[in-house]
Amino acid sequence: MRISLPLLVCIVAPLPAMAQEQAVDPDLADTAADEAEAAGDDAGGEEIVITGQRPRGSVTGDVPPEQTFSPADVRAFGVSTIAELLAELSPQTSSGRGRGDEQPVVLLEGRRISGPREIRDIPTEAISRVEILPEEVALKYGYSANQRVVNIVLRRRFRAITTEVEGGGPTAGGSANGEVDVNYLSITRAGRLNIDLEVSAESALSEAERDLLPNPSGLPYDLTGNVVAVDGGGEIDPALSALAGQVTTVAPVRGATPTLTDFPGGANQPGTTDIGRYRTLRPRTLGAEGNAVLSRTIFGDVAATATLGFTMNDTQALVGLPNIDVTLPADSPFSPFANDARVLRYADALGALTRETRSRSVNGGFSANGEKGDWRWTLTGNYEYSATDTDTERRLTLDDYSAGVAAGSINPFATLPALSLAAPDTARSVSNVGQLEAVANGDIFKLPAGDVGVTGKVGLGTQDLDSRSNRSGLITATDITRRRVNGQFNVDLPIASRRAGVLDAIGDLTLNANAEVNELSDFGTLTTYGYGANWSPFRQLRLITSVTHEEGAPSPQQIGNPVLTTPNVRVFDYVRGETVDVTSIEGGNPGLSADSRRVLKLGANLRPFDTIDLNMRADYTDSRIDGLISGFPAATAEIQSAFPDRFVRDASGRLVQIDTRPVNFARSERRQLRWGFFLSLPVKGTLERRVEAAREAGQDPRAVLRDAFGGGGGGRARGPRAGGGPRGGGRRGGGGARAGGGRVQLGLFHTVRLKETILIRDGLPELDLLGGSATGNRGGQPRHEVRLISGLTKDGLGIRANAEWQAPTRVDGANPAEQLRFGSLTTINLRAFANLGQIPAIVRDNRWLRGARVSLRLDNLLDQRITVTDGNGVTPLGLQPALLDPVGRSFRLEFRKLF
């Protein structure tokens, strides 16, 4: 894929003109709904709600939001799209009830969507309200109870063209990245249209850019060459040892026609070549993606949405130099040795070996939401086609060269002849995934404490994965087909209600039960069931308890991904305590079985004040997974003992190959407590105070706005808004130069892991990830993790500082000297931004800057990395900080403009 700058300019350049063509008379009246919403925003961002009436776009059921964000709260995050907002909210939306890294369920105005693409590109200026709700709400929409819920409510009217240009890279240099994004969004009474196009690129980052120490372990390859014994570790030649005065197992090549006397000077001191510039820590990437969403009302009262998108990504990684390993017979005219020997060399004439990956995907989806009486129904469907091709160069074609050395016709010490690379290993996988789901929820009868609500879901799904790999002529093909039929049922039983006056002494109490059956064509019947309670003893406090039992199958990718072989992968061998370059085998494992999960959750959510936006939350989670499906862990001594067939060593005992395909563990157990709070307070801006003072004095506040923004600003008498710009068919995104009101936000979340163990199989010792065992290359599991969120916005300026800290861990060895200590890690991310349209001194004489924002982001401000040391205080070469985190501190500069 090639994307040229002229093409990009042709795409972006017409957009400002398009925006101007859409401008209409600013004096046209808005609809009453948009006026009310604007007034609420001007008053601080809160939506006007009639007492006793649920806010527009609320979710189904009686569970209130744990956290609600107004437009001013959203602006305070300083992010551009809903996707970026969800990333910022991850501390509040994470759930400890799944298998790990579950993303929240996202609803749009209380309704299901066809997928993330439907809403991810929407500018945050179009948001009216964001709500975060507990996992139990997911059940009411046909999802499983291991994901929290985010409900997003949009403005009734909005129109904007957004352009965004970003660029940055590590402050240590070596790489750069950039991105250009163009977005169009229109929200009217008739529906919603959103079109987005994004192009991104990142240059490669090589090992040479990070001043890494060379790795002497493994076979001693060098551009000039080294000589070793045939077995790779024994004595080369007794005569050479006698000349050197020591047993010689390796010696560098000296000259094109060396004699025996040329080798003693370098005995056991092999020549080395730094090949850092031939190995990448991060690959070169180029990507493009587009997305289009159309939402309309059909059949009079059915809200329908269609989504179509594509993604293209190309990457190229460098995986080292090709090497030459030939046997030099003792009777060769070029051999000075009495025994056969091996000559090890790098070949650099053809450059680095590469791995190139090309992925393409096309997806489409639809959703339809409607109501029938007291019942809500949703029909969603989506389909995705994706194809990935991988070419990996691994070796030279050496048959003729090796034969010539063996026959004595080629001198292995001389300048290398012209050589060619063997055909690369290839792999291709094609995936087709489709699903159709229908969900209905409503009330079936009434109890004294309230209505009994039920949710039912039926779904059909298909997944096809065709993969084919060619490794050195060995062709492997896999065809995985999975058909799925599932049904889910959820019921909520109200037991006590303050509003209904039923057992009101204990507050509000609702019991819940749910069950799901999945029939998979390749794994049979898998079931899930759960139950729980939702209790609010008083209005400010809500307690939730739930138990879930779930059976889960491995994905088709975990079973059938093509087998890939990657040379020169650097790993730390915990058994021998050395860093080696190995051949890594990855792909699918057709022998995987389903797992079974049991999760207990106890949760509390407290909002102690009515007038202060403070939310406090605590969750305790206890989970056990039998038959855990997992990626292959790090090469610790415990893992190598449990999976000896996955590790290959040469005659000298050096690790040369690892099979990293996924596995089943017998059991995993985890207990953790997570607690925290989030506080958001309004901050009055300078201009906002002037507007209020004018109102109190009986003066026209619009005069204050005209004076601040230079007249013609379209300020509104009702609220502290200036530079509002044309409205016409909807609120224009290019206006909205608010009067400088802001927010101060502070959040802190602390995770305490009480237990984290894995049993590989019965009869083996249990791995304690909190007490010296590990499954990853970054040490064990930290017992404590803390995340801090903070931000301040005022007068158009904003700054956000987010920090994360994790406790140190260790990985035990056979003795204290072999123990590895992984230090604690503190990461601080800083982002400063200026909404130029909210700064009168800037926008008064530069009207084109209305709707513009400039942002500067510094990630890992202190340039911190995990430091690993052994019992002697030495850092293993394979665990150098720059290998664990190649980027370190990085910056990113962004300019964004709404038209």
Kindly tell me the burial class for residue 563, based on how many C-beta atoms sit within 10 Å of its own C-beta (0-12, 13-18, 19 or more).
buried
Q: Is the pLDDT of residue 230 over 70?
A: yes
Bigger pLDDT: 731 vs 220: 220
Closest of 571, 566, 567 to residue 878, by C-alpha: 571
How far is Cα 264 from Cα 253, in angstroms, rounded to an integer? Answer: 11
Give the lowest-confidence range in 155-169, 190-204, 615-629, 763-777: 763-777
How far is Cα 146 from Cα 67, in angstroms, rounded to an integer? Answer: 18
- 630 bridge partner residues: 663
> Do 85 and 120 meet the contact criterion of CB atoms below 8 Å apart?
no
Average pLDDT in the chain: 87
First-to-last alpha carbon distance for the chain, in angstroms, is 30
Give the lowest-confidence range in 719-733, 754-768, 775-789: 719-733
Query: What is the model's pLDDT at position 590?
Result: 92
Q: How many helices (H) and strands (E) does the chain have?
A: 15, 44
The 10s digit of each residue's pLDDT in 341-382 is: 999 999 999 999 999 999 999 999 999 999 988 899 999 999
Query: What is the model's pLDDT at position 401?
Result: 96
- The residue to which tokens 């730094």 are assigned: 274
Could you tell me the pLDDT band of residue 212, with boundaries at 50, 70 and 90? confident
Could you tell me the pLDDT band of residue 740, with boundaries at 50, 70 and 90? low
Percent of the chain with pLDDT over 90: 68
Percent of the chain with pLDDT over 70: 90
* Tokens standing for residue 504: 């009101």
The 10s digit of each residue's pLDDT in 241-290 is: 999 999 999 999 999 999 999 999 999 999 989 899 999 999 999 999 99
Could you tell me the pLDDT band of residue 724, with boundaries at 50, 70 and 90? very low
Q: Is the pLDDT of residue 487 over 90?
A: yes
Bigger pLDDT: 98 vs 725: 98
Query: What is the model's pLDDT at position 101?
Result: 55
**The most confident of 55-69, 507-521, 832-846, by mean pLDDT:** 507-521
Give the lowest-confidence range in 1-10, 25-34, 562-571: 25-34
Query: What is the model's pLDDT at position 100?
Result: 52
* Tokens standing for residue 72: 């001013």
The 10s digit of each residue's pLDDT in 234-254 is: 999 999 999 999 999 999 999
Return the number of other C-beta atoms located less than 10 Å from residue 373's C-beta: 7
- Judged by phi (left if over 0) then psi (alpha if -120 to 50, else beta), residue 143 lies in beta
Query: What is the model's pLDDT at position 97?
Result: 54
The two most distant CA atoms of the chain are separated, in Å, by 109
Q: Is the pLDDT of residue 570 over 80?
A: yes
Instruction: Indicate the length of the chain as a whole number.
Output: 899
Bigger pLDDT: 495 vs 725: 495
**pTM recorded for the entire structure:** 0.85
How far is Cα 459 from Cα 488, in angstroms, rounded to an integer? Answer: 9
Give the lowest-confidence range in 19-23, 477-481, 653-657, 693-697: 19-23
Query: What is the model's pLDDT at position 99?
Result: 53
What's the rounded mean pLDDT across residues 118-128?
Answer: 95
Q: Is the pLDDT of residue 223 over 70?
A: yes
Query: What is the model's pLDDT at position 217?
Result: 66
Q: Is the pLDDT of residue 75 over 70?
A: yes
